[in-house]
Amino acid sequence: MESSQESRIHAWLKLTGLVLAFIVFFNYVSPLLFSLSSSWQRFVDVQDEIGVSSGALYYTDVAVTQDSEAHVREAVSLGMQERAQKAAQKP
């Protein structure tokens, strides 16, 4: 029984260590790396220059992305309706 309890404790410690490593990496190491990268700085400068929100490119909860998706769905729906009408008109 003790060995299974020790292995559970070991597994929990391992999981906790990994979570802490991820937190440290994403909160401290990656911002440091981004600040040292000239290409990343150029990417940020171009986004600011053009006025593009990176959220609009990557996230679906941004209003621009939702509007674009709605328009694409509408265009596809209209195209399918036109296609069905043309197919029905053929002899």
Q: At residue 20, what is the residue type?
A: L
Question: In the predicted model, what is the mean pLDDT of residues 67-72?
Answer: 84
Question: In the predicted model, what is the mean pLDDT of residues 48-63?
Answer: 70
| pLDDT attached to residue 28 | 94
- In contact, 77 and 83? CB cutoff 8 Å: no
- In contact, 34 and 40? CB cutoff 8 Å: yes
**Token pair belonging to 91:** 């002899």
Domain boundaries, the chain: 1-52, 53-91
Backbone φ/ψ region at 51: left (φ over 0), alpha (ψ -120 to 50), beta? left
Question: In the predicted model, what is the mean pLDDT of residues 43-50?
Answer: 84
Kindly compute the dihedral angle of the four CA atoms of residues 51, 53, 46, 23, in this order, to the nearest 10 degrees. 150
pTM over 0.75: no
- Give how far Cα 1 sits from Cα of 8, 10, 31, 61, Å: 11, 14, 45, 49
